[in-house]
């Protein structure tokens, strides 16, 4: 009697335990929906004679999203349906972004690899006409290395010292102004830096085109990156280290040189290498200031040089198959150069990181 | 502790080594400011020379004959092309980058997220000329199908009219720029998302919010200014991008109503393409257009940095 009574009240007023948990789609539902929508897209594609597989994929994606959203709304309610929709859109963003980037890398490797060999790396373009096969990038490689080296000789000391000023000495309005303008300087288009050196060095002081002029423009682009990364690293150095050194009577400048900088050296090296990678790929200022040549010119201070990114641009603009092949091959070498710098930078960061935090 | 250290440092600042070192470091800081000022001054001097000889109107002339006698040139087309391609890039890149950043910070399994954010940073380092090469030789031939489709359904608007010529247009440039600025917007936005207070998110979860509701109610409001400033950093990149535009766009000094057909020009692209043929007057004219670009990016980047700085102060006091 009493048992039956309890049962009816449960069914009537209290909610049974099973319904406390809102209804959810079974775990296999998304998989099944995915298979279903792909099958649907294939059928539509075959029946409708859609040639592009991109269209098949788009149809499958739209059907999948719509079906998931509709089903979830019916079974789980509006809030969970919106949640599922948002998840799908976020995943879609991820996939959409991955496609062109993967394609870029794949295309460069696929079209570049067959033409990169020892000959390509050790010969210049001297005497090679644009439609002829052969020729190489030695002159461009040489130019890039020299220009980047000179740019870093200018930019690294100024960048390091500025960062030291901002962290160790800088107070008040000057430091604030420098911080703000360093940030703004990171956003200067590379072509504007090129135009500046053009108007100052070539048009006003009347020097000719040279690798050095290009290196100056590159150093303007490099400085703010070095300042920012070094500043971040110096801020991480514990104040106790400085205080201990100062308390032992060590002058402040020696404290900075012997204690602060060595502690942060790993991070600083990482930042410098990332900056190098960034400027090694700059083309615009090189077009304006270094001008480009087909011959090997080892003298940075005199006469036109070439550089890898400029070489890619020149070969592209010739518009012949042989030149396209060279452009892709040089692009591959350039990507490899930049990626090696990047990976080395991260390796240095990882290698030095535990030491700095200890 | 730090105050005593500082006082001790002040006392030791008498030493010559200290004086030299602090002067050196202050000097390099000032050198940076001087360089910034010099950029503005030198560009302005050459630009003033160019504009004073310009027979057209510098702002409204649809022409670039700076080498002719008398020189006639104006930045109207350049401004239009630069702004339109950057706006297209922003319209595509900001939502997608926000999605990717959310994916990395809130959706992906931890290991996938770490690898992918590492990958995004690597991609930010790919030189722009390589994007340009890929855009010109791979992307352009593949855009025709999409543009035909757009023309079929939206051609009546005029903006999406397409005549089947190679797709070396402002739209393709915008799409390529979007791909190029994705990594920078993503990496800044991701950092902002990560800083959302854990307690807010957990409170929302405890109230029974779904994952999307947690994001909509805690993460997005907290990061709004961060997303805005990240987008403006991306915009600054897109405005000044040279090589990717120079390789993809087939330029002309006309404003074409259709975004899908070739034509138009941007500041940076125009400088790079016209430079080799420019005489001394032509160079001054190009520098004048470069000055406008410089001011434009200065404005955008400065605004972005101010937003970031204000946010930092705000979250600093809140913490």
Do residues A195 and A311 both lie within one domain?
yes
Sign of the CA dihedral with A315 first, then A316, A318, and A322 last: positive
Would you call A189 and B294 a contact, using CB atoms and an 8 Å cutoff? yes
pLDDT for the residue A196: 92
B266 burial type by CB count under 10 A (0-12 exposed, 13-18 middle, 19+ buried): buried
Domain boundary among A114, A129, A162: A114
In a domain, A129, yes or no: no
In a domain, B31, yes or no: no
Do residues A75 and A147 both lie within one domain?
no
- B30-78 confidence digits (pLDDT tens): 999 999 999 999 999 988 988 888 887 888 778 787 777 788 888 888 8
Would you call A94 and B21 a contact, using CB atoms and an 8 Å cutoff? no
What does the DSSP 8-state code read for residue B264? B
Cα distances (angstroms) measured from residue A346 to each of A340, B27, B118, B189: 10, 31, 10, 21
- A296-329 confidence digits (pLDDT tens): 888 888 888 889 999 999 889 888 888 898 899 9
Would you call B39 and A196 a contact, using CB atoms and an 8 Å cutoff? yes
Domain enclosing residue B250, as ranges:
64-318
Do residues A269 and A201 both lie within one domain?
yes
Partner residue facing B46 (CB), from A93, A178, A199: A199
**Per mean pLDDT, which range of A44-53, B96-105, B152-161, B272-281 is the poorest?**
A44-53
Domain boundary among A98, A114, A130: A114
- B71-115 confidence digits (pLDDT tens): 888 888 889 989 999 999 999 999 999 999 998 888 888 888 888
- State how far the Cα of B74 lies from the Cα of B57, in Å rounded to an integer: 6
B12: left (phi over 0), alpha (psi -120 to 50) or beta: alpha
Do residues A62 and A14 both lie within one domain?
yes
The count of other CB atoms within 10 Å of the CB of residue B123 is 22
What does R_g of chain A's alpha carbons equal in angstroms?
A: 30
CA distance A298 to chain B (A): 23
Would you call B268 and A284 a contact, using CB atoms and an 8 Å cutoff? yes
| pLDDT band, very low/low/confident/very high, at B282 (cuts 50, 70, 90) | confident
* A294 at interface of B, judged by CB pairs closer than 8 A: no
Within 8 A of B18 by CB-CB distance, chain A residues are 251-253
Residue A7 predicted with pLDDT over 50? no
Do residues A346 and A210 both lie within one domain?
yes
- Spatial neighbors of B274 by CB under 8 A, at least 6 apart, are B64, B66, B282, B286
Partner residue facing B32 (CB), from A104, A181, A190: A181
For residues A218-235, give the mean pLDDT: 90
In a domain, B91, yes or no: yes
Sign of the CA dihedral with A279 first, then B168, A322, and A305 last: negative
Interface residue of B19, B184, B242 to substitute, partner A, most A CBs within 10 Å? B242
In a domain, B41, yes or no: no
In a domain, B2, yes or no: no
Q: How many residues does chain A have?
A: 358
Cα distances (angstroms) measured from residue B85 to each of B39, B93, B112, B238: 26, 12, 33, 8
Do residues A223 and A90 both lie within one domain?
no
* A92 at interface of B, judged by CB pairs closer than 8 A: yes
- State how far the Cα of B232 lies from the Cα of B39, in Å rounded to an integer: 22
Within 8 A of A193 by CB-CB distance, chain B residues are 39
Would you call B136 and A196 a contact, using CB atoms and an 8 Å cutoff? no
Within 8 A of B20 by CB-CB distance, chain A residues are 253
Q: State the CATH number of the domain containing residue A348.
A: 1.10.3720.10
In a domain, A17, yes or no: yes
For residues A215-226, give the mean pLDDT: 92
| Domains contained in chain B, number | 1
In a domain, A53, yes or no: yes
pLDDT for the residue A6: 45
* A181 at interface of B, judged by CB pairs closer than 8 A: yes
Would you call B1 and A239 a contact, using CB atoms and an 8 Å cutoff? yes
Do residues A263 and A344 both lie within one domain?
yes
In a domain, A175, yes or no: yes
Do residues A289 and A161 both lie within one domain?
yes
| Domains contained in chain A, number | 2
Quote the tokens at residue A347.
Answer: 């390796």
pLDDT for the residue A18: 58
3-class SS of residue B252 = strand
Within 8 A of A324 by CB-CB distance, chain B residues are 137
- A110-155 confidence digits (pLDDT tens): 988 888 888 888 888 877 777 777 888 888 889 999 999 999 999 9
Q: How many residues does chain B have?
A: 319
Domain enclosing residue A107, as ranges:
2-114
Buried b (16+ CB within 10 A) or exposed e, A271-308: bbbbbbbbbbbbbbbbbbbbbbbbebbeebeeebbbbb
Would you call B125 and A342 a contact, using CB atoms and an 8 Å cutoff? yes
Within 8 A of B229 by CB-CB distance, chain A residues are none
Would you call B287 and A220 a contact, using CB atoms and an 8 Å cutoff? no
CA distance A114 to chain B (A): 17
The chain-wide mean pLDDT, for chain A, equals 83
In a domain, A133, yes or no: no
Within 8 A of A313 by CB-CB distance, chain B residues are 129, 132, 243, 246-247
Would you call A161 and B301 a contact, using CB atoms and an 8 Å cutoff? no
Q: State the CATH number of the domain containing residue B227.
A: 1.10.3720.10
* Helix B220-240 / helix B267-274 crossing angle, nearest 10 deg: 20
CA distance B257 to chain A (A): 27
In a domain, A351, yes or no: yes
Residue of B76, B262, B260 whose CA lies nearest to B157: B260
Contact map slice: A 29-88 vs B, CB within 8 A: 52, 79-80, 82-83, 85-87
- State how far the Cα of B275 lies from the Cα of A317, in Å rounded to an integer: 14
- State how far the Cα of B63 lies from the Cα of B191, in Å rounded to an integer: 44
Partner residue facing A284 (CB), from B9, B126, B272: B272
Do residues A238 and A299 both lie within one domain?
yes
Interface contacts A/B by beta carbons within 8 Å: 281
In a domain, A323, yes or no: yes
* A119 at interface of B, judged by CB pairs closer than 8 A: no
């Amino acid at each position: 009697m009493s048992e039956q009574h309890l049962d009816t009240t449960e069914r009537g007023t209290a909610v049974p335990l099973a319904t406390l948990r809102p209804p959810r789609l079974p775990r296999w539902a998304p998989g099944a929906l995915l298979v279903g929508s792909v099958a649907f897209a294939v059928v539509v594609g075959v029946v409708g004679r859609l040639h592009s597989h991109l269209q098949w994929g788009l149809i499958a994606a739209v059907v999948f999203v719509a079906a998931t959203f509709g089903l979830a709304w019916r079974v789980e309610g509006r809030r969970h349906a919106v949640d599922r929709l948002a998840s799908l859109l976020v995943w879609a963003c991820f996939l959409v972004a991955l496609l062109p980037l993967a394609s870029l890398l794949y295309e460069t490797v696929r079209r570049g690899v067959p033409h990169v060999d020892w000959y390509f790396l050790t010969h210049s373009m001297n005497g090679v006409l644009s439609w002829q096969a052969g020729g190489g990038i030695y002159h461009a490689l040489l130019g890039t290395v020299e220009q980047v080296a000179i740019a870093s000789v200018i930019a690294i000391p100024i960048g390091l010292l500025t960062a030291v000023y901002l962290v160790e000495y800088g107070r008040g309005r000057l430091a604030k102004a420098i911080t703000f303008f360093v940030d703004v300087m990171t956003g200067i288009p590379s072509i504007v830096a090129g135009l500046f050196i053009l108007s100052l060095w070539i048009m006003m002081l009347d020097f000719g085109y040279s690798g050095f002029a290009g290196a100056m423009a590159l150093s303007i682009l490099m400085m703010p990156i070095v300042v920012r990364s070094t500043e971040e690293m110096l801020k991480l150095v514990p104040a106790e280290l400085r205080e201990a050194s100062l308390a032992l009577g060590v002058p402040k400048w020696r404290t900075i040189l012997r204690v602060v900088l060595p502690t942060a050296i790993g991070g600083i090296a990482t930042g410098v290498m990332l900056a190098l990678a960034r400027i090694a790929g700059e083309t615009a200022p090189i077009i304006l200031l270094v001008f480009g040549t087909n011959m090997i010119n080892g003298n940075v201070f005199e006469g036109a040089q070439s550089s890898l990114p400029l070489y890619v641009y020149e070969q592209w603009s010739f518009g012949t198959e042989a030149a396209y092949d060279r452009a892709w091959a040089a692009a591959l070498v350039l990507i490899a150069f930049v990626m090696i710098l990047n990976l080395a930078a991260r390796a240095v960061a990882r290698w030095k990181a535990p030491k700095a935090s200890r | 502790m730090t105050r005593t250290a500082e006082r001790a440092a002040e006392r030791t600042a008498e030493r010559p080594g200290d004086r030299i070192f602090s002067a050196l470091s202050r000097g390099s800081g000032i050198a940076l400011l001087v360089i910034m000022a010099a950029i503005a001054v030198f560009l302005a001097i050459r630009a003033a020379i160019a504009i004073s000889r310009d027979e057209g109107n510098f702002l409204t002339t649809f022409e670039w004959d700076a080498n002719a006698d008398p020189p006639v040139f104006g930045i109207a087309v350049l401004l239009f092309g630069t702004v339109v391609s950057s706006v297209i890039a922003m319209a595509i890149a900001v939502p997608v980058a926000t999605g990717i950043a959310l994916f990395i910070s809130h959706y992906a399994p931890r290991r996938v997220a770490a690898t992918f954010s590492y990958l995004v940073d690597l991609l930010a380092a790919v030189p722009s000329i390589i994007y340009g090469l890929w855009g010109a030789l791979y992307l352009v031939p593949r855009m025709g199908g999409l543009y035909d489709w757009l023309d079929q359904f939206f051609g009546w608007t005029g903006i999406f009219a397409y005549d089947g010529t190679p797709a070396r247009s402002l739209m393709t440039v915008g799409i390529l720029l979007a791909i190029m600025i994705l990594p920078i917007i993503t990496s800044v936005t991701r950092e902002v998302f990560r800083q959302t207070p854990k307690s807010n998110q957990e409170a929302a979860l405890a109230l029974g919010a779904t994952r999307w509701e947690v994001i909509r109610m805690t993460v997005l409001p907290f990061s709004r200014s961060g997303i805005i400033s990240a987008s403006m950093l991306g915009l600054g990149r897109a405005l000044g991008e040279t090589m990717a535009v120079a390789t993809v766009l087939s330029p002309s000094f006309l404003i074409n109503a259709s975004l899908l057909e070739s034509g138009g020009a941007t500041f940076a692209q125009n400088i790079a393409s016209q430079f080799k043929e420019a005489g001394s007057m032509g160079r001054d004219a190009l520098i004048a257009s470069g000055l406008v670009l410089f001011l434009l990016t200065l404005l955008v980047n400065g605004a972005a940095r101010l937003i970031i700085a204000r946010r930092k102060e705000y979250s600093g006091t809140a913490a």
